[in-house]
Amino acid sequence: MSESGVHTSERVSTLYRKFGTAIYSRCRRLLKDDALAEDATQEVFVRVLRHIQSAPDDATALAWIYRISTNYCLNQIRDRSRQAEPTAPDEMPEGDGGEVNSEGEMMDRNTAMKLIARAPEKLQEVAVLYYVDGLEQEQVAKTLGISRRTVINRLQEFVERSRKFISRDEV
């Protein structure tokens, strides 16, 4: 193996040791299945290996790998939801700008994941971090490297798209 190949392998191994558990937890939280989460974690780190040259430094590497895992898991959920007929939730969140309702829940988790999987990628990232992971808007902004105003706008767009999708399915 070349010297750069050894360095690449060591870098991925280091990232896996540091963040593997967090990424597995992330995949498990999204996929709700231990075996699928294990497979997803492996696939995420295969993708990390493929793109290691574009990996950020250690200070922001977790956010980068987190994004890879989120996108991978959402694609898995989207693929599974195509095989199953989606069910509409009883209600959408109250409030404006994508704020959570008084119970602190956006909606039924399975329905939320189906709606997230149907959203454009830029909305998926924000919706997952906010509704699934429970991060505050400021934390979402910092994780994604965007402004809090952008987070608010994307959450609002996600809620609007979700309402339209649900009302279309109920007709």
pLDDT per residue as tens digits for the range 117-134? 888 888 988 988 888 888
- Over the stretch 39-81, which tens digit does the pLDDT of each residue have? 999 999 999 999 998 888 877 888 889 889 988 988 888 777 6
Residue 44 near residue 68, CB atoms below 8 Å: yes
- Is this prediction's pTM over 0.85? no
| CB-CB contact of 57 with 15 (8 Å) | no
Q: Give the pLDDT of residue 83.
A: 64
Q: Any idea which of 9-18, 26-35, 109-118 has the lowest mean pLDDT? A: 109-118
The verdict on domain 3-83 having CATH code 1.10.1740.10 is yes
Q: Given this structure, which CATH class describes domain 109-170?
A: mainly alpha
The residues spanned by each domain of the chain are: 3-83, 109-170
Mean pLDDT of the chain: 79
